[in-house]
Amino acid sequence: MNTAKRMMTLPEIQANNSPEDIYLRGRELVIGRFTLACSFSVEDVVLIDLLKAHLHDITIFAIDTGRLNEETYEVAEDLTQRYGLKIDWYFPRSEAVERLEREKGLFSFRESVENRKECCHIRKVEPLQRALRGYVGWITGLRRAQSVTRVDQHPLEIDQTNNGILKINPLTFWSDDQVWTHAEQRRLPINKLHKLGYPSIGCAPCTRAVQPGEDQRAGRWWWESTEHRECGLHRR
C-alpha cells in the first residue's frame, strides 16, 4: 500500500493559510519525493514563483500532448531560463497516437465525449501516470475559483485516481485578483493567450477564448456540457 494511504489524516486548512504554508503542511504529512505539475498557466507560473525557495526539493514536470499552442512553449522557455529550471517533459506513447490518428483522424475528439476522453487519456492521462511514478505526492495550481467543477477543491487531497498519493493544491483559496496581482508585481512570464481572453489554456484545438461572465473553463471543450469539462488529470 502507498505510504500516503497508510498514514494520512488530512488536517483542516483555513482559507487564510498562505500557499507556502499549505505546501509545507502537505510536506509534513508524508516523507518522500514530490513533483509539481506545470502546464505553464498563470497559476502554475505563480506557484513556481511562490515556492521558489523549495525548488531544490521538488521536481517539475510538464506534458507535451503534441497539440499545444506555440505561446505555451514560449512561456516554458522563459520560465526555464528565469529560474534555471529543468523540466521533466513527458510525451504520449507514439504508438498510441499513431493508432488513434490512423483509425480516427486528427479531430476525433470533436465527435463524442468518449472520443474526446480517449484522446485525453492517450495524450494526457497516461503520460501523467508515468510522470507520477515513484512520487509520494504532487503539487498543482488548481483553484476553486477556476470552475464550477472545482468549487469544493481541497488544498490537501488523497489522489485516489493516482495510487492514493498526496495532492497539494496551494492556490486553492486564491482569487483571480490575487493570482494576477502577484504575476504582475513580480513581472512573471505569462502566456500571451491569457490576455487574449483565454483564462484556461489547454490543447490548441480544444480551447477557445471566453466571453465576459462565462465560466473560466467555458472555453475548454466548449462543445460539451459543463460537467464533462475535465480532461482526467484531476478526477476526484
User: In the complex, which residues of this chain contact ligand SF4 (CB under 6 A)?
Assistant: 65, 67, 109, 116, 119-120, 123-124, 202-203, 205-206, 231
Give 23 or 109: the residue with its C-beta nearer to ligand SF4.
Answer: 109
The region, left, alpha or beta by phi > 0 then psi within -120 to 50, assigned to residue 38 is beta
CB closer to ligand SF4 out of 62 and 158: 62
CA distance 108 to 179: 35
Q: Which residue carries 476526484 as its cell?
A: 236
Question: By C-beta, is 27 or 116 nearer to ligand SF4?
Answer: 116
Task: Tell me the C-alpha distance between 113 and 107, whole Å.
Answer: 12
Q: Which residues contact 196 (CB under 8 A, 6 or more apart)?
A: 209
* 57 DSSP 8-state letter: G
Burial of 15 (0-12, 13-18, 19+ CB in 10 A): exposed
State how beta strands 137-139 and 34-37 pair.
parallel
Question: At its nearest, how many Å lie between ligand SF4 and the CB of residue 29?
Answer: 31
Distance CA 198, CA 196 (A): 6
Q: How far is the CB of 233 from ligand SF4 (least distance, A)?
A: 10
* Nearest residue (CB) to ligand SF4, 31 versus 113: 113
Least separation, in Å, of the C-beta of 126 and ligand SF4? 11
For residue 115, the surrounding DSSP H or E stretch is: helix 113-120
Cα distance between residue 134 and residue 229, in whole Å: 29
Catalytic-role residue among 38, 203, 206, 231 = 231
Q: How far is the CB of 116 from ligand SF4 (least distance, A)?
A: 5
Q: Has 231 been annotated as catalytic?
A: yes
In DSSP terms, which residues pair with 65 in a beta bridge? none
Q: Please give the distance of CA 16 from its chain centroid, rounded to a whole number.
A: 23
Amino acid at 179: V
For ligand SF4, give the closer residue by CB, 142 or 183. Answer: 142
Q: How far is the CB of 226 from ligand SF4 (least distance, A)?
A: 16
- Which active-site residues does the annotation give? 231
